[in-house]
A and B are shown apart, each in its own frame.
Chain A
């Protein structure tokens, strides 16, 4: 079984500052992917960033970057230069591709953390 834990339910950050959201996970799979998804208030959830477990290099997408510590099973998200539009609920998620269907995209059984509500203050 896979688990994803987000222990901080809420965080607040001043606009233009940097904030780090924490996530730990557990899986017995050797091949897996980690994600951060963002769910703005009353809007649809979107993918923020993706990390393949076999890659040592941390993923980066503009102001968003991750700190992937495989041995510690830790996957934190850093948001630089926070903007008001970053106010949302953030979910950490994990998926292990179905072995007989490598990276076809057809394995959509993600395990999500409980999420963290991030508020960006003007």
Chain B
């Protein structure tokens, strides 16, 4: 069974640009969540999608958005990038066990 796949793995953007990250969950998993990982703040929950609906949202500004498609694939978008958005963005999918997440390798975003 293929794991969680995130693309792109690395990207560099400049302030003010926008970025879209993609995540393909494990086949059969309907829940996809996104986390931001930075050295200073650690892992912070962005949002969770289940059956194309956003179920939970973390405390991030509206510049951070996401969506989920009918095949459970998910994208997250960050508009008007700021230097502080530089981070590893992790996607995770989940099946039936609460909190049991299967993570992708992440997309490392650098904002210059």
Contacts and interface: CB of A to CB of B under 8 A. Distances in A.
Decide if the interface of chain A is mainly helix, strand, loop or mixed.
loop
Nearest to A42: B105
Contacts, number: 82
Contacts of A93: 99
A33 B98 CA distance: 8
A104 B55 CA distance: 13
Sorting the interface of chain B by its residue count into under 10, 10 to 19, 20 to 34 or 35 or more gives: 20 to 34
B45 A50 contact: no
B66 interface: no
Contacts of A95: 98-99
A43 to B, nearest CB: 7
Interface residues of A, number: 27
Nearest to A35: B99
A112 interface: yes
Contact of A108 (B4, B94, B105, B106): B94
A50 B42 contact: no
A111 B42 CA distance: 10
Interface of B: 3-4, 30-31, 33, 35, 42-45, 48, 50, 55-56, 58, 90, 92, 94-106
Interface of A: 33, 35, 37, 43-47, 50, 91, 93, 95, 97-98, 103-115
